[in-house]
Amino acid sequence: MKDNDLFSEISAIYSVRGAVAYFGEAVTTLEHSLQAAYFAHESKAPNALIVAALLHDIGHLIDSSSADIAEWTTDARHEVSGSGWLAAHFGPEVSEPVRLHVRAKRYLCAADPSYPGRLSSASMHTLTLQGGPMSHAEVTVFEAETYRRDAIVLRHWDDRSKVVGMRTPEFSDYRKQIEALIRA
């Protein structure tokens, strides 16, 4: 697939399926994603991590899980489907922080006592479905992950990206940054 075609495909996924409310929050998935990318850019993150922040929830958009979080009775595992899709088109510096971003939440809940208090009620609800705070054994495994630090900073941007009415760049403004990372 040509770069241009892949960007168009991703952009269409976000403009059509991203227009619905982000799971249990007052912003759409598109707004949430643009805010995460904005915070990454503001933090002077490398391009790959900005794109990872922009696309971190693509698994929600390519899955058919219900948009109503109250209907979730099992973990939708969106980070696995999303990172798998991304790994087919991008390097691990994009797909790996996405794969680890849910485990980063579970890690921070175990490692940082002040962290759970900063999570929204929807995020606390999914935490339970995702397995709750990590055990000691899970923490040890997570700390051996190459991209754990990227996943943790992505997680913090993700948690902040629920601001109603925030102005951000558009999805199309990321075309060059995305296309620069697409693997031939």
**Per rule CB under 5 A, is residue 79 in the interface with Fe ion?**
no
Instruction: Report the Cα 28 to chain-centroid distance in Å.
Output: 13
Q: Which residue lies nearer to Fe ion by CB, 31 or 57? A: 57
Tell me the closest approach of the beta carbon of residue 162 to Fe ion, in angstroms.
9
65 CB-near residues (< 8 Å, 6+ apart)? 72, 76, 78
Tell me the closest approach of the beta carbon of residue 3 to Fe ion, in angstroms.
25
Give percent helix, percent strand, percent coil of the chain, each to the nearest 5.
65, 0, 35
Nearest by Cα to 171 from 26, 49, 29, 22: 29
| Binding residues for Fe ion restricted to 47-76, rule: CB under 5 A | 57
Tell me the closest approach of the beta carbon of residue 23 to Fe ion, in angstroms.
8
Q: Which residue lies nearer to Fe ion by CB, 58 or 134? A: 58
Q: Which residue lies nearer to Fe ion by CB, 25 or 48? A: 25
| Binding residues for Fe ion restricted to 104-163, rule: CB under 5 A | 158
Nearest by Cα to 156 from 118, 117, 113: 118
Residues that bind Fe ion (CB under 5 A): 57, 158
